[in-house]
A = this chain, B = another copy of it.
């Protein structure tokens, strides 16, 4: 039910970024396949099975025969308001089960969705491996993005959480503490939720204020600081619509300071470049210089860094924004 609008999270995004990286002289490395076992370090196995199987089940149930229904669209969502005090079971019907994992109506599953999301994970994990092999900065050109995916919920054009999986792999490879710094224009509620109660992974994010009506709407506020063992390990920097380089870079500086205070041994950067002024999906007004400055600040940490692509939807400027960030970061990174 509703109106179909053109998506902005499209394959051309990857192409323009890859071309810009090549022109800038970056070494390009193919992603290496990684075992599915890595996924369960961050995600509920039921989410992975759902994403893998739901489109074929959707076809088998005959829904694809309706016009506009070739991709899985959830219609029923067991929210807290719906359940109240009732216990809930897993839905038997594929059209209802979708809404137990997917929390919006814009993150559809088509025939190639799982393969693409799974390949993006391989891309992020390959970047971690490059760090293990001695690189100081490795950038993962992931698509679809991932930072809106929680342990078992997907949405916001994301299916598997590439950045969270990279952070967990850095932990598994020996970094005692890892920081995830999220520069995407939208709060990375998935990564935040995954690490909210953990004291070994810091999550810091600068993003447009959800209180001003922006996705993910109900979380991403400054008073969310972690809970339980993770108390104090979440830091949100919500910014007003219209915030520019100066305000944004100050917030990035505060996040970078929190990484130092946390004594992180490695960093994952969720590099959304949709905070840029030209971007259609956010009202922030950051420039390429702003992204370059953020890169310098994170590079000055002199920590092994995996940079994971998140959002960014303005095709003409996407490549330049990513290159500006990496230029800033690499100029300050350790050179062995």
A residues with CB within 8 A of B: 1-5, 47, 66-69, 73-93, 96, 99-101, 103-106, 108, 150-153, 155, 189, 192-194, 196-197, 210-219, 221, 224, 227-228
Q: How far is the CB of A74 from chain B (nearest CB, A)?
A: 8
Query: CB within 8 A of A84: which of B88, B92, B150, B217?
Result: B150
CA distance in complex: A87, B196 (Å) = 10
CA distance in complex: A93, B1 (Å) = 19
CA distance in complex: A1, B224 (Å) = 31
CB distance B76 to A103 under 8 Å? yes
Across the interface, name the chain B residue whose C-beta is closest to A187: B86
Query: CB within 8 A of A96: which of B100, B150, B194, B218?
Result: B218
Q: How far is the CB of A102 from chain B (nearest CB, A)?
A: 8
CB distance B86 to A189 under 8 Å? yes
Given A73-B2, A213-B96, do A224 and B79 touch, yes or no (CB 8 Å)? no
Q: Which residues of B contact A217 (CB under 8 A)?
A: 76, 78, 91-93, 96
Q: How far is the CB of A84 from chain B (nearest CB, A)?
A: 4
CB distance A153 to B4 under 8 Å? no
CA distance in complex: A207, B150 (Å) = 34
10 residue pairs, one from A and one from B, having the closest CB atoms: A81-B153, A93-B213, A84-B193, A77-B77, A82-B103, A96-B217, A88-B218, A91-B217, A2-B73, A82-B153
CB distance B215 to A83 under 8 Å? no
Given A2-B1, A3-B68, A224-B87, do A77 and B101 touch, yes or no (CB 8 Å)? no
CB distance A219 to B1 under 8 Å? no
16 A–B contact pairs at CB < 8 A?
A1-B106, A2-B69, A75-B106, A81-B101, A81-B150, A81-B151, A82-B150, A82-B189, A82-B216, A83-B153, A83-B218, A84-B153, A84-B193, A89-B218, A89-B221, A96-B218
CA distance in complex: A210, B5 (Å) = 33
Q: How far is the CB of A297 from chain B (nearest CB, A)?
A: 27
Q: How far is the CB of A329 from chain B (nearest CB, A)?
A: 29
CB distance B152 to A219 under 8 Å? no
Q: How far is the CB of A208 from chain B (nearest CB, A)?
A: 12
CA distance in complex: A43, B281 (Å) = 36
CB distance A3 to B67 under 8 Å? yes
Among the interface residues A82, A106, A210, A213, which one has the most CB atoms of the partner chain B within 10 A? A82
Q: How far is the CB of A163 from chain B (nearest CB, A)?
A: 16
Q: Which residues of B contact A77 (CB under 8 A)?
A: 77, 79, 99, 103-104
CB distance B100 to A79 under 8 Å? yes
